[in-house]
Structure 1
Amino acid sequence: MPTMAILASSCRVFLLLAALTVGLVSGLTIQNDDPRIHYHGRWDDSPGTWWAGSGLKLHVQNAKTMKIRLGSLTTSPFAALGVSVNYEPFFTVNASVGWNDIPLPAAPRFKRSDKSVIRLNVEGWQNNRINLETIVLNRGAQLLPYKPSKLSFQFIGDSLSAGQYLPLGVDQAWPFLVGENFKAEHTINAQPGATLTDIPSYGNVHGVSFQFFKTEDTGYVWTSDHNYTTPWDFRRDRPSPTHVVIHIGANDVSQGVTPDQFVQEYLDFLKRLRTIYRTQSIFVFTPWGWPSADGNVWYYYDGKYEEIVRKQTALGDSRIFLVNTTGWVTFDDVFADNQHPNVPGHVKIANLFSEWLKDWGLRPERQWATLA
């Protein structure tokens, strides 16, 4: 076959394949910089996710199908995504580089409308990076502005808050469930194995007192395409948290941080937090401890969390509160082989803290701010 004929034939095949590909993803195309996408959690400029629970929310009219195209910085072979339509329970979709179908199962409609709220996040405490390029909805769909809740929680912690070992990861963890109970926005910056103190711990090269102020979680050091940190611009938190919850210290004690050192580290961390969250209420959890099969519970830094709150209050901070979690968790509430809360255990913790907050004076929103 003459060379020109071969080229012409190849060109026709290429155009046909391109047309087929476009046909597969035709519809309403939404670029990743569309201001109507409501991003939550920590995203870098690629844009790509860091920290468990980071994701996005869409308010859509006439949504029937959804595809997302993910770029090369997405975790290989896939990242587990939590998906919820109209505030129904989250389910998992494994997404990889390229085009991914996001199922939109039938969900209750609000006010008999054809509008939907689609929530999507990375649920894993590691291997949780998605690099969003494009979203495509069906023809006839319309993207609408998303209105966030007036209530917004910022949770800070370690594996006990990140959803480690849970089937659905952070979407089954107590901080996420508290946010759902209050119909609130919620961001979770929690890293398994990490100390509060800025020291190496269980594969983490930094502690949370350093990493919380960065875009990236502590896994950045193991990521060859992004082995550096960038400061987090807290103005990107939409909305700014109304309440801050901290549960941390288990890894500090295991790394030999003394009680007095821990108190000082915590106070230094609170001082820095108060440069960002000047008026927000901050809740300091005591440890619920490590329960054993014989009914005993080992608590750490006994009395030190009370000391932290007392000293912070003496500095003039009237918006810091101690949450005493003693007795909240028993051996039935944890995985027997690692003593981390199991699925019912996280539900129990979330319900106990939700009741604590109600007794404190916080009321859940009556309805979600964006109703479909």
Structure 2
Amino acid sequence: MNPLGFMLFACISVTSATILQNGQVRSNDYPDTAVATILPSDPGWVSYNPNASELSYKGRWDHQYISWWSAPGLKFGFQAQSIAISFGNYTSDGVLLAYRIDGQDWLLTNVTANSTHLFVTPKTAGYNLTQPSNGVQTFEMRVTNWAYGVQVKCVHASGPAARLVHIPNYPRTMELIGDSLSAGQYATLEGISSYSWGLMYGLGNVEFSITAYPGICLHDSRCYGNLHGQTFQWLKIPDTSSRALDIYGDGPDIPDWDFAAHPAADITVINIGTNDNNTANNITQAQYHDSYVQLINDIHARWPASQIIVISLWSGFSQVGNTWVQGGGFVDIIESVVRSFNNGSLNERGGEGFVHYFNTTGILEHNDIGPLYHPTDVGHIKLASHLMQYIKLTFGWILEQTGPEVQHDTLYWNDQSSY
């Protein structure tokens, strides 16, 4: 068994109050944004129900406005002095949120169930820093974790003529399907430190969803606590977490994702199979092959115009002699799947087929993999950067992110001139 096989999944822990950075405890004294409950009848506040047309939900949310999977979010415009959000009882205790105004750096705060949090005041970074021509500023919030989530109960705005404004979707849409490598497990800030986030947010002007969860297999099988694989779960709204099991169980009540009600993905990226490749899960090569074909067919049936990028698996690094060598998983199987959709071609450089092969060999080095067998923050950034260039060269997408911070707390530098 290769080291990465153990990795993804021997332990599926969720966010705790302590974040370690290179073995040292990182300060997490984030601002306490909790305030007293705001009622719709309170003077000075205008309250919006979670189904208000002004609110745009990013990623997968259910009919109760509960968030699922990795890095789901909420976005809207506002003309107000203050913005607050009330969270429902299905909000995870202590879940870490990232939020910001317009293109400012991300701010972090912990929220919990049945609470109200004040996110914007005139003192918030970016508030009226530059006045937009229409007077509308943008608020965005993201759940950092892959197993925790929030339930939006109400959004409140205060100030003279306070109001929320709908922000139109970007013209491009992307989907990423994966496991812990894509969900950001063990990265500093998990979902918002992952290569998935760096790739799609870094491209700019892209709506995206990261449908990834640690320990999950491609084949519909029990893997490391997950009751289903992605061939089943990708078609559903919730992920495979224990909170999903508590709310929906494992039967007919698991709601389907309404693909027709959401924009089709222009590009779908798939990076999955490391858990299938672990002997502990007893998945055969034939099962993996057939499940990969099934997933691609399911994607194509719902999004006929989507271009699909299949990422080759990297299975950690092994020391060979006096150097390190990257491992792989299901290499021949994955290549066979890609060729089956492209008349025998791997389609690595944008041929006529709709399935494309992205070879990870040589992108990461052994020190880009952390002690828990997942990429470091730098490893995630390297993979995201290569994928961005691949998409630019293959599909002609222009890189449009030109300033706003993408990955928070990854700015490391040396400011000592003599050492």
Q: Please say whether Structure 1 and Structure 2 have the same fold, judged by a TM-score greater than 0.5.
A: yes
Match of 2:287 among 261, 268, 283: 261
Change (3 A) 1:144 1:20: closer
Which residue of the partner structure matches residue 86 of structure 2? Answer: 69
2:125 pairs, out of 98, 102, 106, with 106
Deviation at 1:142, TM superposition (A): 2.4
Is the 1:86–1:109 Cα contact (8 Å) retained in structure 2? no
1:303, distance to aligned residue in structure 2 (A): 2.2
1:309 is matched with 338
What is the CA-CA distance between 1:302 and the residue it aligns to? 2.0
Shift of 1:347: 0.9
Match of 2:21 in 1: none
- Give the C-alpha shift of residue 292 in structure 1: 4.2
Matched, 1:88 2:104: yes
Over 3 Å counting, the alpha-carbon distance change for 1:179 and 1:19 in structure 2 is closer
Identical pairs, percent: 24
Q: Which amino acid aligns with 1:146?
A: I
* Aligned match of 2:297: 271
Indicate which of 191, 197, 214 corresponds to 1:170. 191
Matched, 1:288 2:314: yes
Question: 1 CA distance for matches of 2:286 and 2:64?
Answer: 41
Distance, in Å, in 2 between the alignment partners of 1:139 and 1:276 is: 44
CA distance in 2: counterparts of 1:365 and 1:352, whole angstroms: 12
Partner of 2:140: 119
Q: 1:25 to 1:343 in 2, by over 3 A?
A: farther
CA contact (8 A) 1:205 1:221 kept: no
Shift of 1:148: 1.1
Any stretches of 5+ residues in structure 1 without a counterpart?
Answer: 1-17
2:38–2:116: 8 Å Cα contact kept in structure 1?
no
- Equivalent residue, structure 1, for 2:397: 363
Task: Give the structure with the higher percent helix.
Answer: 1
> Quick check: which has more Rg, 1 or 2?
1
5 Å matches for 1:1-372?
A: 26-61=44-79, 63-75=80-92, 77-96=93-112, 97-103=114-120, 105-107=124-126, 109=130, 111=132, 114-126=135-147, 128-140=148-160, 141-183=162-204, 184-220=206-242, 223-228=245-250, 229-237=254-262, 239-254=263-278, 255-292=281-318, 294-314=323-343, 318-335=353-370, 337-364=371-398, 366=400
Offset at residue 250 of structure 1 (A) = 0.3
2: CA distance between counterparts of 1:289 and 1:230? Answer: 33
Distance of 1:19 and 1:175 partners within structure 2:
35
Give the distance between the partners of 1:313 and 1:199, measured in 2 at CA. 28
Per-residue Cα deviation, 1:232-273 (whole angstroms, up to 9, x for no partner): 111232x32111000000000012323332111101111122
The 1:35–1:219 alpha-carbon spacing in structure 2 relative to 1, beyond 3 Å, is same
8 Å CA contact 1:83, 1:92 repeated in 2: yes
* TM-score after normalising by structure 1: 0.86
Name the amino acid aligned to 1:93. Answer: T
Displacement, 1:23?
A: 9.2
* 1:39-66 residue CA offsets vs partner (Å, 9 max, x unmatched): 12111111211111222111123x4422
Q: How many angstroms does 1:222 deviate by?
A: 6.2
Match of 1:15 in 2: none
Q: What is the rounded CA distance, in whole Å, between the counterparts of 2:157 and 2:61 in structure 1?
A: 22
Identify unmatched segments of 5+ residues in structure 2. Answer: 1-35, 346-351, 403-419
Contact preservation (8 Å) 1:44, 1:215: yes
Counterpart Cα distance in 2 of 1:169 and 1:24: 37
RMSD: 2.6
1:8: which partner in 2? Answer: none
Which residue identity lines up with residue 49 of structure 1 in the other structure? S
Deviation at 1:162, TM superposition (A): 0.2
Equivalent residue number for residue 11 of structure 1: none
**Residues 91-132 of structure 1: CA deviation (Å, up to 9, x unaligned):** 322111221122463226375664221111211111x22111
What's the secondary structure of 1:296's corresponding residue? Answer: strand
Cα 1:307–1:133 change in 2 (3 A) is same
User: Alignment partner of 2:289: what SS?
Assistant: helix
Distance 1:257 1:219, change over 3 A: same
Rounded to whole Å, the distance in 1 between the matches of 2:317 and 2:130 is 43
The alignment partner of 1:93 has SS state of: strand
TM-score, normalised with respect to structure 2: 0.76
Give the count of matched residue pairs. Answer: 346
Q: In the aligned structure 1, how far is the partner of 2:43 from the partner of 2:357? A: 51
Please report how far the alpha carbon of residue 349 of structure 1 lies from its aligned counterpart in structure 2 after TM superposition.
0.7
Offset at 1:361? 3.0
2-structure distance, mates of 1:67, 1:46: 19
Distance 1:180 1:276 in 2: 24
CA deviation profile, 1:133-184 (whole Å, cap 9, x unmatched): 1111221332122111111110000000001112222111111111122211
Within 2, Cα distance between the matches of 1:278 and 1:340? 33
CA contact (8 A) 1:92 1:168 kept: no
Q: Which amino acid aligns with 2:146?
A: W
